[in-house]
């Protein structure tokens, strides 16, 4: 190979390296663009259709910082134990055991046929929550099915006592509309034990859901003002 051939080979090699580097850079940029274009999941039926949010649409979103997600994923009626963030999309399947979660199925009926499960709203360490239809009123409710272990049952019964106090409180109090209402409660026997079930009105997203909805860039000021006023 003479000097001219060596020079041509070197130039060709340099072009190949440059071309590979360009492709690698374009591939990385493509991934970044796709990531930026991802939109947060809307976790309420009301907002799913419109894709927009307003202060009024979240009038009660701080009333319950409990489990709702549309997974069938965050949070329409959850207890204080469930305010910590769950990074997994679904609860651990190993927790479907004695003392654990009840294997709820869409279409199942609860409380002697009064409620029919429509879809999953979310889950937490304490329970799973399901959008259900009240067959007596035709309205949708949030059905919370608590894990069956004794300490979960005890906590749930304490929660029911407190929520009943709220239901019996002065309905004309200015803050009453910002507090979640317990509509019903009952026990359900399943393969993993006896589960306390609570029925709530269906609410909007919790604070964590709102933060995620705006990509952790901060909740719009009108919503911040409304939430602060309600608190």
Q: Do the annotations mark residue 144 as ligand-binding?
A: yes
Q: Are 217 and 70 in contact (CB under 8 A)?
A: no
Q: Are 76 and 67 in contact (CB under 8 A)?
A: yes
Q: Say how many C-beta atoms besides its own lie within 10 A of residue 221's C-beta.
A: 9
Query: Cα dihedral angle (109, 111, 112, 113), rounded to 10 degrees?
Result: -40
| CA–CA distance, 229 with 139 (Å, rounded to integer) | 29
DSSP structural state of residue 217: S
| CA–CA distance, 144 with 149 (Å, rounded to integer) | 15
The string over 46-58, giving b where at least 16 C-beta atoms fall within 10 Å of a residue's C-beta and e elsewhere, is ebeeeeebebebb
Q: Length of the chain, please?
A: 231
Q: Are 84 and 206 in contact (CB under 8 A)?
A: no
| CA–CA distance, 43 with 210 (Å, rounded to integer) | 9
Point out the annotated binding site for ATP: 144
Q: Which residues are annotated as a binding site?
A: 144
């Amino acid at each position: 190979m003479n000097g001219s051939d060596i020079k041509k080979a070197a130039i060709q090699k340099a072009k190949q390296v440059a071309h590979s580097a360009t492709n690698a850079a374009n591939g990385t940029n493509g991934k970044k663009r796709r990531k930026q274009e991802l939109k947060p999941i809307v976790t309420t039926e009301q907002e799913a259709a419109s894709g927009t949010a307003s202060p009024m649409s979240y009038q009660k979103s701080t009333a319950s910082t409990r489990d709702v997600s549309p997974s069938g994923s965050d949070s329409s009626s959850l207890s204080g134990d469930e305010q910590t963030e769950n990074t997994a999309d679904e609860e651990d399947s190993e927790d479907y055991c004695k003392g654990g979660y009840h294997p709820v199925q869409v279409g199942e009926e609860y409380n002697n046929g009064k409620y029919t499960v429509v879809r999953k709203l979310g889950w937490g360490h304490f329970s799973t929550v399901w959008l259900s239809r009240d067959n007596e009123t035709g309205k949708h409710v949030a059905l919370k099915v608590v894990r069956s272990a004794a300490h979960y049952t005890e906590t749930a019964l304490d929660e029911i006592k407190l929520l009943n106090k709220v239901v019996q409180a002065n309905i004309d109090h200015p803050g009453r509309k910002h507090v979640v209402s317990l509509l019903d409660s009952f026990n359900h026997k399943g393969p993993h034990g006896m589960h306390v079930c609570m029925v709530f009105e269906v609410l909007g997203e919790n604070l964590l859901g709102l933060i995620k909805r705006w990509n952790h860039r901060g909740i719009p000021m009108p919503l911040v003002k409304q939430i602060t006023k309600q608190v």
